[in-house]
Structure formats: C-alpha cells, structure tokens
Amino acid sequence: TSLNLFATKVDQIVNLLEKRAKPDAENPDRKPIDRIIVDTPGQIEAFVWSASGTILLESLASSFPTVIAYVIDTPRTASTSTFMSNMLYACSILYKTKLP
C-alpha cells in the first residue's frame, strides 16, 4: 500500500517536518510552526492496525508532541449502538497507540 511507501521514507518525512517547523534563515520574518496537522480522513484503520502505520505514528511521536483526534459524524451517531460502537473504537485506538 502507499502507507508502506511512506513508512520506508519516514526519516525523510520527519526531517521535512522538523525543517519546516524551525525558523527559516533565508526568511527571518517567517514565524516557526508550532503545530502540524496530519489529516487522514477515513484512514485511521490503516494507521492504527497496520505495521507501517505504527512505524509512522511512533516516528512522529518520538520527534514531536503527538495527539490523535478521532472525529465522529454526530448526525450518524443518533442511535445508541452506533454511538457506543464509535466510543469503543475510540478507546481501542487510545490504548493501541498509547497517545493522548
């Protein structure tokens, strides 16, 4: 999968993010970046349950303060069973990744 390709280049990805987070010598007016958001809509399963996703998450977490946000679609969780399913999934992600 494409996630496996990213995992093979994780050092380059982390270096690029670190470089962009620091102040730029060529452009001293640019402020350093204090937050990086990685949005993977609908792909949380790939990141949480695959080996390559674990490599990427652990690499990011070792280099940057890392938080996972599991966002649910509230109109679709109107039923109790769907809501509880989403909450259990969020808990399993929390315990699997050991990230806040």
Domain, as residue range, for 78: 2-97
What is the widest separation between alpha-carbon atoms in the chain?
A: 55
Q: Which two tokens stand for residue 30?
A: 């640019």
Burial 46-62 (b: 16+ CB within 10 A, else e): bbbeeebbebbbebbee
CA-to-CA distance for 81 and 100, rounded, in angstroms? 25
* CATH code (residue 86): 3.40.50.300
Q: Tens of pLDDT along 23-62?
A: 777 777 777 777 888 887 777 777 778 888 888 888 888 8
Structural domain count, the chain:
1
pLDDT exceeds cutoff 70 at 1: no
Radius of gyration of the chain (CA): 16
pTM metric for this prediction: 0.69
